[in-house]
């Protein structure tokens, strides 16, 4: 699903890319336990979500200008 949103962002409209990044951050928070998962440190999940949302904000800011 996220790959398709990225392709839509490249082929049709950049908003799809931002939507995919925001959705991926939400996916990370919703589908990973708080204590980490199989060798993934507990701090990584919220960091990954925050990173996705920050990149989405940069994409929006870049294309809104």
Return the structure tokens found at 22. 């925001």
What are the structural domain ranges in the chain? 2-64
- Mean pLDDT is lowest, of 8-12, 16-20, 55-59, for 8-12
Q: What is the pTM of this model?
A: 0.80
Confidence of residue 64 (pLDDT cuts 50, 70, 90): confident
Average predicted confidence (pLDDT) for the chain = 85
Q: Indicate whether 61 pLDDT > 90.
A: yes
Q: Which residue has the higher pLDDT, 3 or 39?
A: 3
Return the structure tokens found at 15. 């908003």
Which pLDDT belongs to residue 35? Answer: 58
């Amino acid at each position: 699903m996220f790959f398709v949103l990225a392709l839509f962002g490249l082929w049709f409209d950049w908003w799809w890319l931002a939507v995919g990044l925001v959705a991926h951050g939400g996916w990370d928070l919703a589908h990973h336990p708080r204590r980490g998962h199989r060798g993934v440190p507990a701090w990584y999940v919220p960091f990954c979500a925050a990173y996705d949302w920050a990149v989405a904000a940069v994409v929006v800011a870049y294309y809104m200008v």
